[in-house]
Amino acid sequence: MIRDFTLTEFWVIAHGLWATLLLSAVAFVGGGLAGLGVALARTSSVRTLRWAAGLFIDFFQGTPMLLQLFLVFYGLPVLGLKLNVWVAAAAGLTLHAGAYLGEIWRGGIQAVPGGQTEAASALGLGWWARMRCVVLPQALRMSFAPTVGFLVQLIKGTSLAAIIGFVELSRSGQLVSSVTYKPLLAFGLVAACYFAICFPLSRFSVRLERRLALPA
Amino acid sequence: MHRTSSFTRRSAIALAAAMAFAGLAHAQKVADIRKSGVLRVGAQVAQVPWGFSDKSGKLTGYDIEFAELLAKDLGVKPEFTPVTVANRTAALLTGQVDVLAAVVTILADRQKVVLFSRPYSYLDTVLIGKSSLPVMKSYAELKGLRIGVPRGSVQDTAVTQVNSGATVQRFDDDAAAVQALLSGQVDLAGAASTQLGPIGQVAGAGKYDIKLVVSRGYQGAAVRPGEREWVGYINDFIARKTASGELDALYRKWIGLDLGKDLPATGETAAALPAFVAK
């Protein structure tokens, strides 16, 4: 009943790799949009917004992602809201990424010299024009390294989605290992896949960072 | 395989309490299942030979075929949701599945959280070691040995409680504990007796055998607490299949042993709890 490690097993792992990539992309894009909103709220002049954003960030940074996914998938049905596995994993990871990216970009926004904001106001730019044309481009460039660092963490963090039944790269390695009894091969392949995704990302980010660097 | 991590236990109890308060009892009438045409089953998919994927990727195994028989008896199609030891209770209590056929050993802690049917299988948890080691008759002979067990399993509890002077190493799951045995990092592995076949396949027949039988546990189908009509149907189904010999044939096909006629007749009492064999 224990099988040999055949092409089927490679396909299972490849399928897990695809699921991980897709989930990471969805979480990063969704989390990016959410994070932008959170960062803008966190630095806004409206006190309630700042407070609400702070609460959101504190909750998602203060609880384990495992628990967040668990709550989204198993807790929401108790309130009557049933989600399927993909939606729940994407939602949980999006909220998580939104909190972390929001905090990273808040730091970036606050690091833009105050003179920039003052000059923009003096030129008659309203809040949104000021943000879009002056503050955010500089803030996001400054936050490039921590943002990519977080993205690499997020890709590895998708392995936690296995708790709600989402079959991604790590879980597919576990499945293969338990039917072939060859854990070194199965998990070695999985590790190689993770490395193949994360390493180029880190290298690419260093290059991009140099290109986008603001003059000192 | 028999892990009850305290996190899942606490969260399962919390969820059960939440559901009681929310009044959200997914009342499961047999008629509802028949009407929906689908029996939603939670099963393990990485546990040979209970639930796993065969070469073509189709789900198969003792638990899977048991659930398929149950679905046929109801006149509906089975729909399998993969669960793990960590999330199977939550999947059942939140209504994701209607029954668990996921190698759920009947333990006292679990009886408080879910409702068990009468046992439909049994499993001996054993200590497996190299054939060159002598067969042990009691825990006292474990002194000085290294034992690998899945964390929170029946073997873990037994070996830890006994305080035999052996070094206990805890691993994440059965496969890891067995792997430690095969690579020589531990002298004995606490595992299910059904692991002996796969070990023989990987390491060569006759190299490893059972050194000590820890306990015999019974597995029952789990349903949400309070669903008496549903569990009554499953109990009746198991009784009929036992009497006709179908269940025994299925067990022999997958596990290679006789199911026997002396399984406890109910999963809800102390009679269904594991019988500890070794002293």
pLDDT greater than 50 at residue B22 = no
Q: Which segment, B4-8, B189-193, B272-276, is predicted with the most confidence on average?
A: B189-193
Q: What is the mean pLDDT of residues A173-196?
A: 90
The domain locations on chain B are: 6-122+218-272, 124-215
Q: What pLDDT, on the 0 to 100 scale, is given for residue B29?
A: 82
| Nearest chain B Cα distance for residue A32, angstroms | 29
Q: What is the mean pLDDT of residues B105-124?
A: 91
8 Å CB contact of A1 and B197:
yes
Q: What pLDDT, on the 0 to 100 scale, is given for residue B23?
A: 40
8 Å CB contact of B175 and A165:
no
Q: Which residue of A has its CA nearest to B174?
A: A178
The domain locations on chain A are: 7-212
Distance between start and end Cα atoms, chain A: 64
**Which one of B11, B57, B175 has the shortest CB-CB distance to A177?**
B175
Taking CA atoms, A208 is separated from A29, A103, A145, A175, A204, in Å, by 19, 22, 9, 37, 6
Six-digit token string for A126: 């309203």
Partners of residue A6 in chain B, C-beta under 8 Å: 55
| Nearest chain A Cα distance for residue B163, angstroms | 30
| Type of residue numbered B262 | D
8 Å CB contact of B90 and A70:
yes
pLDDT greater than 80 at residue B20 = no
Q: What pLDDT, on the 0 to 100 scale, is given for residue B8?
A: 58
8 Å CB contact of B24 and A78:
yes
Q: What is the mean pLDDT of residues A148-173?
A: 91
Q: What percent of chain B has pLDDT over 90?
A: 35
Under DSSP, the state recorded for A73 is I
- Mean pLDDT for all residues in chain A: 90
**Which one of A6, A75, A178 has the shortest CB-CB distance to B46?**
A178
Q: What pLDDT, on the 0 to 100 scale, is given for residue A144?
A: 87
The Cα–Cα gap between B209 and A71 comes to 43
Q: What percent of chain A has pLDDT over 90?
A: 68
**Which one of A78, A162, A167 has the shortest CB-CB distance to B94?**
A78
**Which one of A75, A174, A182 has the shortest CB-CB distance to B46?**
A174
8 Å CB contact of A165 and B24:
no
Q: What pLDDT, on the 0 to 100 scale, is given for residue B47?
A: 83
pLDDT greater than 80 at residue A214 = no
Q: Which residue of A has its CA nearest to B16?
A: A78
Fold of B6-122+218-272: D-Maltodextrin-Binding Protein; domain 2 (3.40.190)
| CATH, domain A7-212, list 2.30.30.180, 3.40.50.150, 1.10.3720.10, 3.30.1330.60 | 1.10.3720.10
- Mean pLDDT for all residues in chain B: 84
8 Å CB contact of B19 and A163:
no
**Which one of B82, B95, B175 has the shortest CB-CB distance to A165?**
B82
pLDDT greater than 80 at residue B259 = yes
**CATH class entry, domain B124-215:** alpha beta
Q: Identify the residue with better confidence: B178 or B10.
A: B178
Least confident residue range of A33-47, B34-48, B129-143: B129-143
Least confident residue range of A16-25, B26-35, B97-106: B26-35
Q: Identify the residue with better confidence: A142 or B172.
A: A142
Q: Model-level pTM?
A: 0.78
| Nearest chain B Cα distance for residue A181, angstroms | 7
**Which one of B19, B47, B55 has the shortest CB-CB distance to A8?**
B55
Token pair 């998708």 in the structure block, residue: A158
Size of interface A-B (CB pairs under 8 A): 77
Question: Phi, psi (5° rounding) for residue B258?
Answer: -80, 140
Partners of residue A77 in chain B, C-beta under 8 Å: 94-96
Mutation target among B1, B5, B11, B194 for the A interface, most CBs of A within 10 A: B11
8 Å CB contact of A175 and B53:
yes
Partners of residue B197 in chain A, C-beta under 8 Å: 1-2
Q: Is A79 in the B-facing interface, judged by CB distances under 8 Å?
A: yes
Q: What is the mean pLDDT of residues A190-203?
A: 92
| Nearest chain A Cα distance for residue B234, angstroms | 26
> Can you state the percent helix, strand and coil of chain A, rounding each to 5?
85, 0, 15
Q: Which residue of A has its CA nearest to B49?
A: A1
Q: What is the mean pLDDT of residues A125-134?
A: 92
The Cα–Cα gap between B108 and B103 comes to 15
ipTM of this complex: 0.71
The Cα–Cα gap between B145 and A216 comes to 64
8 Å CB contact of A1 and B52:
yes
pLDDT greater than 70 at residue B12 = no
Handedness of CA B9, B68, B71, A78 (dihedral sign): positive
| Nearest chain A Cα distance for residue B32, angstroms | 19
8 Å CB contact of B86 and A163:
yes
E-strand ranges in chain B read 38-43, 46-47, 51-53, 59-60, 77-82, 99-100, 115-130, 146-150, 167-171, 188-192, 208-223, 275-276
The Cα–Cα gap between B267 and B214 comes to 21
Topology alike, domains B6-122+218-272 and B124-215: yes
Mutation target among A72, A178, A182, A185 for the B interface, most CBs of B within 10 A: A178
